[in-house]
Structure 1
Amino acid sequence: MRKSKASDIAILAIFIAIMIVIQLFSQMIYSVWPFPIKPTLLHIPVIVASIVLGWRKGAFLGFMMGLISFINATIVTSPSSFMFSPLQPIPGTNHGSLAALIIAFIPRILIGIFPYFVYKLMKNRTGIGLAAFVGTATNTILVLGSIFIFFGATLKWTFGYLIESIIATNSLVEVLLAVILVSAIVPSLQKSRK
């Protein structure tokens, strides 16, 4: 039992380290990236962990993804920082909003839960791809939906703009990358855990 717990902690630590590297690497690349498409990749380890390690560990890594997002938005000020950190002021005010914590954490925790159950329904390669799609869609729809609910008036978003944002190019690239990478990574990890 003790060996199993130590192994699980080590695996979670590796996933967290991978997420931190992805975040730092993405920031460096996107600071000089000449293209308008800047896909999020941080959710991929969360989806992989959800399928391979289970929904509880997936939810924990989703929480860690939210924490990384919150810390990043607090330290690195950008036009969207107020949406992910209550310590950043909403434009036109001198205060932040606790709603930023909901946006930063709740969708990311759910990324670690939903893919597990989708995969469990099918338990095959198609299930892995579908789980990756659901995890990515969870991130996109819930983050943008929450931004619309809490900050739509501030940003002057219409419902039409929200729908366009959900099905925009970034979202399509994120789904495609997630399905390809998760479908390639999960079977290898599943074999190594047997």
Structure 2
Amino acid sequence: MKKSKASDVAILAIFIAIMVVVQLFSQFVINVWPFPVKPTLLHVPVIIGSIVLGWRKGAFLGFIMGLISFVNATIVTTPTSFLFSPFQPVLGTQHGSAWALIIAFVPRILIGIFPYFVYKGMKNHFGAGLAAFVGTATNTILVLSAIFVFFGSVLNWSVGYLLSAIVATNSLTEVIIAVVLTAAIVPALEKSRNRF
């Protein structure tokens, strides 16, 4: 039991390290990426961690994803930083909004919970892919919906704009990447963990 817990903590630390590397790499790629589609990959380790380590550790990884988003938005000022950090002023004001913490953390924590239960009901490649789809959709739909609810009037978003943003090219690309990677990686990780 102790060996298993130590192993899970080590794997959790590896997932966190992967997330930090993916974030740093993504920041570099976004600056030089010549194409209009700029998918994020930070949610993929959260989804895989949720499936392999369980929903509690998955939720923790989701919290780490939210923390990375919050810290990045606090340090790097962009036109949308106020959406993820209360320390960045909302457009047209001199102050931030605490609602940014909800956007930064809640959807990301749920990314670490939902995939576990999806995969638990269907432990195969298809189940892993479906779990990745659910995790990615959770991120996209909840983040954009929260932005619409809390800052829609500031951004002049309509319901039509929200729906088009949810099914935008970035979202589809993120789903495809997450499904392919998760369906390939999860069964291999499960086999290797069962050997020890």
- TM-score of the pair, normalised by structure 2: 0.97
- Structure 1 residue 2: Cα displacement: 3.1
**Partner in structure 1 of residue 128 of structure 2:** 128
The 3-state SS of whatever aligns with 2:121 is helix
The 3-state SS of whatever aligns with 2:20 is helix
4+ residue stretches of structure 1 with deviation over 2 A? 1-6
CA distance in 2, matches of 1:152, 1:129: 32
CA distance in 1, matches of 2:71, 2:105: 12
**Partner in structure 2 of residue 53 of structure 1:** 53
The 3-state SS of whatever aligns with 1:122 is coil
The 3-state SS of whatever aligns with 1:93 is coil
Could you report, residue by residue, the CA deviation over 1:13-72 in whole angstroms, capped at 9, with x for unpaired residues? 110000000000000011111111110100000000111111011000000000000000
**Partner in structure 2 of residue 113 of structure 1:** 113
Contact 2:124–2:187 (CA under 8 A) maintained in structure 1? no
Q: Aligned AA for 1:79?
A: P
- Structure 1 residue 5: Cα displacement: 2.6
CA distance in 2, matches of 1:187, 1:79: 40
Q: Aligned AA for 1:58?
A: G
CA distance in 2, matches of 1:175, 1:182: 10
1:192 aligns with 2:181: no
Q: Aligned AA for 1:85?
A: S
Q: Aligned AA for 2:59?
A: A
CA distance in 1, matches of 2:43, 2:179: 12
Could you report, residue by residue, the CA deviation over 1:52-94 in whole angstroms, capped at 9, with x for unpaired residues? 1110110000000000000000001111100000000001111
**Partner in structure 2 of residue 3 of structure 1:** 3
CA distance in 2, matches of 1:120, 1:10: 22
Deviates more, 1:139-148 or 1:118-127: 118-127
1:37 aligns with 2:42: no
Contact 2:125–2:184 (CA under 8 A) maintained in structure 1? no
1:172 aligns with 2:162: no
Could you report, residue by residue, the CA deviation over 1:104-139 in whole angstroms, capped at 9, with x for unpaired residues? 000000000000111111122111110000000000
RMSD: 0.8
Stretches of structure 1 that go unaligned for 5 or more consecutive residues are none
CA distance in 2, matches of 1:4, 1:189: 14
CA distance in 2, matches of 1:24, 1:53: 24
**Partner in structure 2 of residue 100 of structure 1:** 100
Q: Aligned AA for 1:31?
A: N
Aligned-pair identity in percent equals 75
1:13 aligns with 2:13: yes
- TM-score of the pair, normalised by structure 1: 0.98
